Structures are given as C-alpha cells and as structure tokens.
Amino acid sequence: MTSPSDRATELVSKAFPAREILAVREDTGGCEGFKFRILIVSEAFNGKTTLASHRLVQAAMSPIMPETHALTIYAYSPEKWGRMAPEDRQNAGCGDMIEV
C-alpha cells in the first residue's frame, strides 16, 4: 500500500512534471486526516499570484483532499526561489524541507 506522502508526491509530480524542486512532508502526528507540507518550485508558477499557484497545487491534490486535514503549500517560480536567501526560506517555513 502506498503511504500518504508517496501518494501526495505522485499526484503533484504528475501535475507538475517540469519542476525544479519537490518536497512533500507528512506531519500527521496523530490528528484525524493527513497533514501535508509541500514545497514546489516550478515554471508553472511564473507570473502567477500566490493564490493562483496554491489553487494549482490544491487541484493536483484533489483526489486525497477529502482525507486531508491540513495542507501547507510553498509554491515558487524558479526566479522567486532563486532570489530567496536561506534565512528567507527559513522564515517562510520551508527552509527545513530541502538540503542546501
């Protein structure tokens, strides 16, 4: 059986095949339903507002959203991600999600 984080990774990977970074963390910790943190850097977010970018990720996750309790999304264009210093990434809440 596929783990919830593997399923989330599969769904987002299919929706954003041309991505630079994808990290999915499951932080369910005993709560009812899944709790995910998703970091994705993709050209699909070029020129998009944060809300529009998040809606794209939510759409990708739609098959498992009924079982999802919480979803934290960090969605960046490559340009925006490249401008972020490590401390900016830490302050945004996603600094611990990838190796620098």
The domains of the chain are located at: 4-92
Note the pLDDT tens digit of each residue in 8-43: 999 999 999 989 999 999 887 766 788 999 999 999
- Name which CATH class applies to 4-92: alpha beta
Q: Parallel, antiparallel, or unpaired: how do β-strands 34-42 and 19-26 relate?
A: antiparallel
Taking the C-alpha atoms of residue 57 and residue 84, their distance in angstroms, rounded to an integer, is 21
pTM for this model (two decimals)? 0.90
pLDDT in tens, 35-71: 999 999 999 999 999 999 999 999 999 999 999 999 9
Tell me how far apart the alpha carbons of residues 100 and 1 are, in angstroms, rounded to a whole number: 31
Q: Is the pLDDT of residue 1 over 80?
A: no
